[in-house]
Amino acid sequence: MITIGALSKRTGVNIETIRYYERIRLIPSPPRTDSGRRLYGAEDVRRLTFIRHARDLGFDIAAIRTMLALQEMPEASCELVSRIANDQLEAVDSRIRRLRGLRTELIRMVKECDNGKVATCRIIEVLADPPGHPDAL
Rounded Cα gap, residues 46 and 80, in angstroms: 21
What was the pLDDT predicted at 90? Answer: 97
Please check whether residue 14 lies inside any domain of the structure. Answer: yes
**For residue 136, pLDDT beyond 60:** no
What was the pLDDT predicted at 134? Answer: 52
Paired strand residues for 32: 38
Q: Check: CB of residue 68 under 8 Å from CB of residue 59.
A: no
As for how many domains the chain has, the answer is 1
Please check whether residue 124 lies inside any domain of the structure. Answer: no
Amino acid at 55: R
pLDDT tens sequence across 30-46: 999 889 899 999 999 99
Which residue did the predictor score with more confidence, 14 or 118?
Answer: 14
pLDDT tens sequence across 80-101: 999 999 999 999 999 999 999 9
Rounded Cα gap, residues 123 and 53, in angstroms: 39
Terminal CA-CA length for the chain: 66
Range of the domain at 33: 1-57
CATH code at position 33: 1.10.1660.10
Please check whether residue 125 lies inside any domain of the structure. Answer: no
Q: The pTM is what?
A: 0.74
Please check whether residue 102 lies inside any domain of the structure. Answer: no
The pLDDT of 54-71, averaged and rounded, is 95
Rounded Cα gap, residues 137 and 135, in angstroms: 7
